[in-house]
A and B are shown apart, each in its own frame.
Chain A
Amino acid sequence: MPAEKRDMPFVLAEHQRGTQRLAAVNIAAEACGLHTGMALADARVLVPDMHIEMLDPARGAAALDKCARWLRRYTPWVGADTHPDSHGLLLDISGCAHLFGGERRMLDDMRARFNRRGITCCVAVADTIGSAWALAHYGPDSLIIAPSGHGADAVMDLPPGALRLPEDACDLCRRLGLDSVAALAAFPRTSLTRRFGPYPVMRLEQALGQAGEMLNPCVPAPEFIVRENLTQGITQLDVIASLTQNMCATLAAKLFTAGQGATRLDLVLTRADNEMQALSVRLAAPSAEADHLARLLATRLERMSRGFDAGCGVETLCLAASATANVITPQAPLTLGHKAFKAPPVAVLASLFDRLAGRLGPQVVVRPVVHASHIPEHAVGYRPVHAAPLSGEADDAGLSTATAPEPQMRPLFMLCAPEPIEVIAEIPEGAPYRFRWRRVLHEVARAQGPERISPEWWPSARRHNSLTRDYFRVEDRNGCRFWIYRDGLYGRETGRVRWFMHGMFP
């Protein structure tokens, strides 16, 4: 949520049994007397100017997933909570807390970082997943650390709902007068099982540490990963580069045996003081060639060297092929539309693209694409090579050759934006006599036109200024050829027409 809205009443609504009800409220909304489960109509009466959005479970799940990825800074083992009504995350911090100065500091840090993002959170640390969940959801405080070995004691006073029980089991507890976990735990397990079924008993045992429970990490570990732990921190980048080269060879061998090729590489350098530096490389085509991968990473490392701070030395290098694809040798297409164009050896070109894009930036290395539009600047675009199909053919779909202009009618160079020029021309629709562009006066020797291009009247994502243009091909006395246009029809669309330079002919 944007920062300026954080202090405003904000609610999430959802359809529930035929009415719209509040699914979540923020602190400001709570202060106004709103609460979860309230009908939206009632809430509107109480707070007319609140910000309402419909609950979108998919977006919520995506945000939670993002959170989980971010939380991997504390521990590699982060899992989503499986409880249907819960929006929590489970972290296995065994052996990680000391890196942050103990559990307390770790949680403080975590909470402070969440608060800075405008997210309130309740955190709890305990021996088992079940007890930690119970303390986080039902605990008396928003930050609880159950002393090691006493997690079970900490949950004893909590209501039975803290055991992640389903709705009907909670109801049954209430009717039986079991108002705490302790009361439930006092019963013999066999009679509990008879009464409640096996599931609540399992939950109870999990919370008390009598049954095991596994945590499923929601961020799958990449399959193709090479890790290099060094006994001594290294500070020289060229040493890192040569280590990376060896790692690439190992990774490539792994990929090759699986018949896969990397389309994205991530290299994470971890310094001895736990600072991380990451770089990632995208590939145009899946590759399992060690040399190619190593060259791409070397280029990126070289570029990184400017902002690189080795500090007390890099201790761990982790290279992962985080996205892979099957390496396929594509069949050459039978026809390519144009007789002269030979299908390029895809792999060879792709490796060139990777190297160029790696150094120059992915937005710089482009291929021309054609769109179905008659507005000249919209008819042609450039697309990064990584986004465009390698064969360069698929983008022609929906483009009829009948409407394409004659190549001679279009300039070889088109300016990035039309530049205004001063023109002397016959009013209303004559060809120009002379014009001044970039402070140089050009006398028109020949002119051809106009080619009238009307604006797109239909709703389109690419709207331009919506005036009719009359294009002229003009040649000045030196023989230089230009493409200029008059913007707007004199008298009909505009009172004062303007002229623009749009391109140059060879």
Chain B
Amino acid sequence: MREKKYQAEQRRLAVNRLRHKLRKFELVPTAGEAVPSGFEAIDACLSPHHGLLRGGLHEICAAKTGDFASASGFGAHLAAQFADGNAVVSGQTRQSVGEHGRPYALALPTVGLIRQQLIHINGADLPDLLWATEEALGCPAVGCVVLMSLEQAPDFTASRRLSMACRAVGRPLVLVLGAEAGQASTTATTRWQISAAPNNSWQVRLQRLRGSFERPPPMAGWQVFPWRETLPVSDDTVSDNTAPESASVHATAAYSS
């Protein structure tokens, strides 16, 4: 009798251990690890905790060449959400500094960042930048790392390595990719496509969401007005998305202008 009880207990513990191990692979956020994106309509789609996984790699792609600034803006906004007042390390490749310039400190409040938060890596080679990213992710004082303006996406190995680093330390990496970077296969937790839309807005499309769904992730799209109250939008702005609930969802204003 006691023997049986002991075996049952052992089984229970083993199953618990396995569950715990599995959870590490599954990338299911626990409630504390999810961070709201700052837009209610988007959060509603990010089940189960209505937020983005903190220990994950989040990829933001510009839809076209000219959309890079918007993609960076969205990326910086997410970084501000993640960092929650802690330091943000941002990095740019040398090529992107030449092409897009550098973040302008006086405009950082528009995306929710404060100048004092920012530590910038001003033009480095991609391998050096990836190394720096890993170093920064390991630093407890850093709230978020954002790599802006990579014309070239890190390859699958690098992406996997960064994902693992994020998961291990529970700190997010936001990767902003230019339109030229293309659709490389990645291990990102979420992947967003951003394009600039008229009337000072962004068109945001969620292309991929790992892990957390019972049902397959919807190809959701929104038109987001980050700086003012919802404005009337013509209906054809987000026409080709398949998600039934998100034909033209207006996000609430995140900042008062």
Contacts and interface: CB of A to CB of B under 8 A. Distances in A.
Interface stretch (B38-46, B71-79, B151-159, B160-168): B71-79
A368 B118 contact: yes
B102 A416 contact: yes
A380 B105 CA distance: 6
B18 interface: no
A390 to B, nearest CB: 10
Interface residues of B, number: 60
Given A413-B100, A413-B103, A368 B115 contact: yes
B121 A364 contact: yes
A414 interface: yes
Contacts of B227: 408
A117 B111 CA distance: 56
A341 B114 contact: yes
Contacts of B199: 479
A407 B124 contact: no
Contacts of A369: 105
A486 to B, nearest CB: 20
A345 B102 contact: no
Given A480-B70, A504-B69, A404 B106 contact: yes
Give the dominant DSSP class at A's interface. mixed
B101 A359 contact: no
A162 to B, nearest CB: 60
A506 B111 contact: yes
A164 B72 CA distance: 72
Contact of B141 (A345, A367, A380, A385): A345
A405 interface: yes
B197 interface: yes
Interface stretch (A311-319, A347-355, A425-433): A347-355
Contacts of B257: 408
Contacts of A478: 64, 66-67, 195-196
Nearest to A339: B85
A117 to B, nearest CB: 36
Interface in A325-380: 336, 338, 340-342, 344-345, 348-349, 351-353, 355-356, 359-360, 363-370, 376, 379-380
Given A348-B141, A407-B110, A479-B201, A382 B120 contact: yes
Contacts of A405: 106
The 8 A-B pairs with the shortest beta carbon distances in the complex, nearest first, are A506-B73, A368-B105, A504-B69, A392-B116, A479-B196, A415-B101, A410-B107, A407-B109
Interface of B: 64, 66-70, 72-74, 76, 85-87, 89, 97-98, 100-111, 114-124, 128, 131-132, 135-136, 139-142, 195-203, 226-227, 257
Interface of A: 336, 338, 340-342, 344-345, 348-349, 351-353, 355-356, 359-360, 363-370, 376, 379-380, 382, 385, 391-393, 404-405, 407-408, 410-416, 440, 445-446, 475-481, 503-506
